[in-house]
Amino acid sequence: MIKLWMAPAGLHVEMGQDGDAAELARIHKTGFFRGWSAQEFAEFLAERNTPIYVACDAKRRIAGFALIRIAADEAELLTIAVDPKWRGKKIGRALLHATFQDLMLSPAKRMFLEVEEQNAAAIRLYRNEGFREIARRDGYYARVDGSAATALVMARDLG
């Protein structure tokens, strides 16, 4: 079954493929202090319980992606990142919508995520898409300057 979802700006969302690992690592590094390696993405791509959704054009040039982990009746958004030149075009929202729709075919009933308390863009996106804060983890993230940042845990029902 080919899975395909509409996205803005002439893009669509489809499932990540083995050959995407290096590009996913490149985009991830643009958004996170500790980028994950192509090898780590290759491992996620090889596992059934860690699907990756990619937003790309007809030539399969990737603008962003969302990675989730499914465990029993829970799903976790492990990461989401959009290439800086594609941000603010609702690609992140399209990626989340694709995961919600796809998870309707899975046993997952609830989706969780963790986000740095100061990541206003991401928190606004998540709130808009129905996520609500359920916990705080003080000192959870390491910052570039060595200080620690608080993580918010957010959750949303699926289906």
Ligand X SMILES: CC(C)(COP(=O)(O)OP(=O)(O)OC[C@H]1O[C@@H](n2cnc3c(N)ncnc32)[C@H](O)[C@@H]1OP(=O)(O)O)[C@@H](O)C(=O)NCCC(=O)NCCS
Q: Candidates 3, 60, 61, 124: give the one binding ligand X (CB under 6 A).
A: 124
Helix (H, G, I), strand (E, B) or coil at 50: coil
**Could you tell me how many residues of this chain bind ligand X (CB under 6 A)?**
19
Site string for ligand X, 36-75 (x = CB under 6 A): ----------------------------------------
Amino acid, single-letter form, for residue 97: H
Instruction: For 132, list phi and psi in degrees, rounded to 5.
Output: -130, 150
Q: Which residues make Cβ contacts (< 8 Å) with residue 108, sequence separation at least 6?
A: 70, 72, 73, 74, 75, 158
Q: Which residues make Cβ contacts (< 8 Å) with residue 58, sequence separation at least 6?
A: 10
Instruction: Work out whether 31 is an interface residue with ligand X (CB under 6 A).
Output: yes
* Minimum distance of ligand X from residue 1's CB (angstroms): 26
Instruction: Work out whether 130 is an interface residue with ligand X (CB under 6 A).
Output: no
Q: Candidates 25, 87, 110, 130: give the one binding ligand X (CB under 6 A).
A: 87
Question: How many Å apart are CA 70 and CA 53, to the nearest integer?
Answer: 13
Which residues of the chain form contacts with ligand X (CB under 6 A)?
Answer: 31, 80-82, 87-93, 115, 119-122, 124-125, 128
